[in-house]
Structure formats: structure tokens, C-alpha cells
């Protein structure tokens, strides 16, 4: 198979491969225009928590404040969360559905890990957690602003852009509003699950915590790295949250890439890409790439976007797509990791550390359900993208659902922090995997049964797992 040149795939089977965009393709209905309205009645809005890119946009046709079968999908948001509502749909409230594994939040590198729905009244310039709070509690934005003691012009406009305002007071207020917005978003999944009284209690608890954080911060820009979380009793805690663009997170990092395909793993081994700590004067970032099976090292420059980065080879621009980017909380080493899918369907997992692996605890596995994504291609390079739902019982038994088949004859065990499942392979071998890095959404696994080792992905959220599965399988 002939493949385009790509810095992340160097194969003796083909001279070149390109990483293709597997995540966030532009929809024909998406737009990035700055005009807010037109003579025809069409208008442009923005979906903002951070900017929500590649989120679905719906007209709330039955005007019941929830997403239902009668509502009309209009398209998907473009860069900076923008979308143009045509005149035929201008008289309806607008619902934004941000989808796990599909929608990019430009506050944080990579896609969302859970679904979120937001809503705004017809004609609104922005769809935000504040507009959602207004609609679901029957309040106007003026009333919401008064309740939260915030400037109504700030919560009804692009508060992210306001953080770059030359006026210091405006910048600081925008940081406070943004902290409140992303914290409120944590309390929302689907619009039909919102209880009005409960929503009000949560938002007011967040408001109080945001006020405290703002008043106690000597540098108000530090709020951009904070998140207010609530426990079941609505007691608030303010936590550090990794925020920033993909470029800012990847600057200065070295990533080690491991294949999910066992044949490619034998051919290519581990790939390494190292980014310089600072961008060049033109905004691009220099990098060095090395593949240990081919002893090739070369240098280049990368231009970053919200969903990856681009390089130029012989005048041709090549997009390196990142379909997931995560911060590690499992290993205790604060590593980072991401997933790429190549144009021939091979998925490569990159992490900032592979020389020391994490371990599973009993609590990680007992009575938990995971969705495991892996390449079941065996001895070929043609991907066989597979997803299994695995439920681990406390007595060592388990249920595996793969496609239309259900298996109840397997058992699991933890051996020195690695997970072992009996008789998974056709030849009767056990499946032995060790976590490399992970977080509350995903765990990157190293399959130690294979030689050389290969990567699998273990996902907790079903929506995220399905989205990643669809993206990966669509590249075959």
C-alpha cells in the first residue's frame, strides 16, 4: 500500500505515511465568520465553555428546553465555537451538544471526555453555561448577572476574548467569569437531567467558591488553572486543572510512541518526538524525531492548531491529528499522553514516559466496567479495530461483551499490579496488561503478552469509547 510521507510512521513496507485528521472534520454547515447577523435574519453565535469546536448545533423546535427527536440538527460548530444560524431557524432556542471524543474544548488540549449540553434563547450571541442556567431556571441574563454579581455584558459575550483585553480590570473579570463558566459546566451533562432547584444550589455554591478564589488570588490570571468542584453535599473545593492550548502543553516535552498493531510494532519499534521548550519567532515550534528501528533522526518545525499540528515536507503541508490528549493522574509522575490515528488506520499511543509503568489497585478493577479498544489484526498490518466491554466482578469472574457475543467463562486477577485475564488468546494464553499512564477518563495499557509490547486503550466513559472507536475504525 502506498502511503504519504509522515514523520510519525517510518515503515519498510512503505516509504511514507501521513497522519490524517481523525477527529474534527469541518462540517459544511460550520462557519468561522465574525458577522453576528445579516439582513436575512441569519446570525452567528459562539458555543463557549472554552470555545467548543465540532459540537452539534440544534434548533429547539418544540421549545421544551431539552434535546428531543423533534429538534432539528443544523450542523457543527467551527473554529472558536462559531456557527451561523440561518433565517429559517432564527426564531428557535439553540442547543449545543458537545460530544465526548468529538468536540474540542480549546481551554484544554484534546477532546471532551464526557457529553455536555448547553442552551440559549433565540438570537443569543453566545451559548454558555450562563445562558443554560438562565433558560433552565426561567431567568433573564440580567437576573443571572445580578444573582452572580457579574457584569451582564461579560456573561453574554465572548469572555475568553476579553481575557486578552488591554484593560487590566476587564482581563481579571473575564478570568473570574471563565472560572465560573467551566466550573458550572461540570454540573451539566444532559439538559433533561437538570433539576431547577438543585441547579440553583450548585451554581450558587460555585459562585461563592469562585468569589473566594478571586479575592484570594494576587495574580488573577492564575484562575485560568483552577476549577471549582462540588461533592454530593455541594461542598466546594478549588482544584488545579491543566489548561492551555495544545501547543502550550506540548512545548518542551519528549513523547514516546508505541503502536497498537503488533506487526507495525515489530517493524517500527518506539518512535520519539521532542519539541523545543519555546516557540520560534514566527510562532512555529521546532522538533526532533527519531525511530529506534531505523536509526533515523530528522528535525522540522510544527504549526499547532487545536486538534494537532502541521509540518511541511517538500512544499506539502501534512496534518498530524491528535484525537485525544490527556494528563496522567495514575502513575504519580504527572505524565502526559495522546493518541494518533494514521491514514491507514494504525493508532499510535504517545506518552512522556515509558521506562516506568504504573500499577493497578483492587479499587481500580473490582466492580468496574471498562471499554477496551485494541487492534486485533494479529500478524497483518491491516487494522482490525475492536472494542470490548469488560465488567469485573468482586469474585474474580467477569463479563466480556464484544459485538454480538457475550463471554462469561473468563476470570481476572491482579499480579504485581498488572491485570491478567484468563484464556483471551485463541491459543489459550492469558492477556496480561500493565497501565502506563491514565486519568479518570482513560488508561493507556501496555500489553506485555506481545513481543514487542503493544498499546491498548481502556476507557471508562461509554460515549468517549464509542467516539474513539468510530474515529479509529473510520480510518481503515
Residue range 39-53: average pLDDT?
91
Query: What's the pLDDT at 25?
Result: 40
* pLDDT computed for residue 39 by the predictor: 58
68 pLDDT higher than 70? yes
Cβ contacts of 287 within 8 Å, gap of 6 or more? 273, 274, 275, 276, 299, 300, 301, 302
Q: Which of 278, 312, 352, 436 is nearest to 5 (CA)?
A: 312
pLDDT tier at 415, thresholds 50, 70, 90:
very high
Instruction: Show the cell assigned to 153.
Output: 455584558
Confidence of residue 475 (pLDDT cuts 50, 70, 90): low
Predicted local confidence at residue 107, as pLDDT: 81
In this prediction, residue 36 carries a pLDDT of: 54
Q: Above 90 in pLDDT, residue 333?
A: no
Residue 31: the pLDDT is 38
More confident residue, 111 or 258: 258
The highest-confidence range among 186-190, 375-379, 389-393, by mean pLDDT, is 389-393
Cell numbers for 158: 465572548
**What gap in Å lies between CA 128 and CA 52, rounded to an integer?**
10
Statement: residue 8 has pLDDT above 70? no
C-alpha 464/C-alpha 347 separation (Å) is 16
**Whole-number pLDDT of residue 225:** 83
pLDDT at 430: 94
| Predicted confidence (pLDDT) per residue in 336-377, tens digit | 999 988 777 889 999 998 877 889 999 999 999 999 999 999
Number of Cβ within 10 Å of residue 231's Cβ equals: 9
pLDDT for 205-253, tens place per residue? 999 999 999 999 999 988 988 899 999 999 999 988 767 788 988 999 9
Predicted local distance difference test score (pLDDT) of residue 419: 96
> How sure is the predictor about 3, in pLDDT bands with cuts at 50, 70 and 90?
very low
Q: Percentage of the chain surpassing pLDDT 90?
A: 66
CB neighbours (10 Å) of residue 466? 18
CB 336, CB 351: distance < 8 Å: yes
Q: How confident is the model at residue 54 (pLDDT cuts 50, 70, 90)?
A: very high
Whole-number mean pLDDT of the chain?
A: 88
286-300 burial, b for 16+ CB within 10 Å, e for fewer? Answer: ebebbbebeeeeeeb
pLDDT of 132-170, one tens digit each? Answer: 999 999 999 999 999 999 999 999 999 999 999 999 999
CA distance linking residue 338 with residue 476, whole number of Å: 20
- Reduced to 3 states (helix: H, G, I; strand: E, B; else coil), residue 220 is helix
What is the Cα–Cα distance from 301 to 283, expressed in whole angstroms? 10
Amino acid at each position: 500500500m502506498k502511503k504519504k510521507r509522515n514523520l510519525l510512521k517510518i515503515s519498510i513496507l512503505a516509504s511514507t505515511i501521513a497522519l490524517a485528521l481523525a477527529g474534527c472534520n469541518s462540517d459544511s454547515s460550520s462557519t468561522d465568520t465574525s458577522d453576528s447577523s445579516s439582513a436575512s435574519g441569519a446570525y452567528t453565535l459562539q458555543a463557549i465553555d472554552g470555545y467548543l469546536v465540532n459540537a452539534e448545533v440544534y434548533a429547539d423546535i418544540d421549545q421544551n428546553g431539552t434535546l428531543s427527536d423533534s429538534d432539528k440538527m443544523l450542523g457543527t460548530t467551527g473554529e472558536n465555537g462559531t456557527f451561523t444560524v440561518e433565517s429559517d431557524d432564527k426564531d428557535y432556542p439553540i442547543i449545543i451538544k458537545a460530544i465526548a471524543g468529538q468536540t474540542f474544548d480549546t481551554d484544554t488540549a484534546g477532546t471532551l471526555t464526557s457529553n455536555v449540553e448547553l442552551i440559549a434563547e433565540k438570537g443569543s450571541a453566545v451559548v454558555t453555561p450562563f445562558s443554560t442556567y438562565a433558560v433552565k431556571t426561567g431567568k433573564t441574563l440580567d437576573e443571572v448577572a445580578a444573582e452572580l454579581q457579574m457584569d451582564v455584558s461579560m456573561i453574554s459575550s465572548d469572555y475568553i476574548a476579553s481575557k486578552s483585553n488591554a484593560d487590566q480590570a476587564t482581563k481579571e473579570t473575564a478570568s473570574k467569569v471563565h472560572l465560573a463558566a467551566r466550573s458550572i459546566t461540570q454540573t451539566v451533562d444532559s439538559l433533561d437531567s437538570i433539576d431547577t432547584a438543585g441547579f440553583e444550589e450548585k451554581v450558587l455554591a460555585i459562585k461563592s467558591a469562585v468569589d473566594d478564589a478571586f479575592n484570594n488570588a494576587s495574580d488573577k490570571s492564575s484562575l485560568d488553572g483552577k476549577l471549582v468542584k462540588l461533592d454530593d453535599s455541594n461542598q466546594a473545593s478549588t482544584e488545579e486543572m491543566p489548561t492551555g492550548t495544545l501547543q502550550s502543553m506540548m512545548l518542551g516535552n519528549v513523547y514516546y510512541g508505541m503502536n497498537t498493531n503488533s506487526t507495525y510494532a515489530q517493524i517500527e519499534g518506539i518512535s520519539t518526538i521532542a519539541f523545543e521548550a519555546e516557540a520560534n519567532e514566527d510562532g512555529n515550534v521546532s522538533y526532533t524525531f527519531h525511530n529506534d528501528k531505523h536509526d533515523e533522526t530528522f528535525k522540522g518545525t510544527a504549526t499547532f492548531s487545536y486538534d494537532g499540528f502541521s509540518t511541511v515536507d517538500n512544499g506539502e503541508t501534512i496534518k498530524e491529528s491528535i484525537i485525544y490528549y490527556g494528563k496522567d493522574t495514575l502513575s504519580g509522575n504527572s505524565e502526559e499522553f495522546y493518541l494518533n490515528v494514521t491514514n491507514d488506520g494504525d493508532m499510535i499511543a504517545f506518552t512522556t514516559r515509558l521506562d516506568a509503568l504504573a500499577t493497578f489497585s483492587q479499587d481500580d478493577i473490582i466492580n468496574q466496567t471498562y471499554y477496551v479498544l485494541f487492534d486485533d489484526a494479529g500478524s497483518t498490518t491491516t487494522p482490525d479495530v475492536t472494542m470490548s466491554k469488560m465488567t469485573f466482578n468482586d469474585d474474580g469472574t467477569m463479563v466480556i461483551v464484544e459485538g454480538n457475543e457475550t463471554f462469561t467463562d473468563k476470570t481476572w486477577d491482579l499480579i504485581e499490579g498488572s491485570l491478567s485475564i484468563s484464556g483471551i488468546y485463541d491459543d489459550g494464553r492469558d492477556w496480561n496488561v500493565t497501565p502506563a499512564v491514565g486519568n479518570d477518563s482513560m488508561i493507556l495499557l501496555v500489553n506485555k503478552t506481545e513481543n514487542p509490547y503493544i498499546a491498548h486503550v481502556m476507557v471508562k466513559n461509554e460515549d468517549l469509547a464509542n467516539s474513539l472507536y468510530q474515529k479509529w475504525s473510520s480510518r481503515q
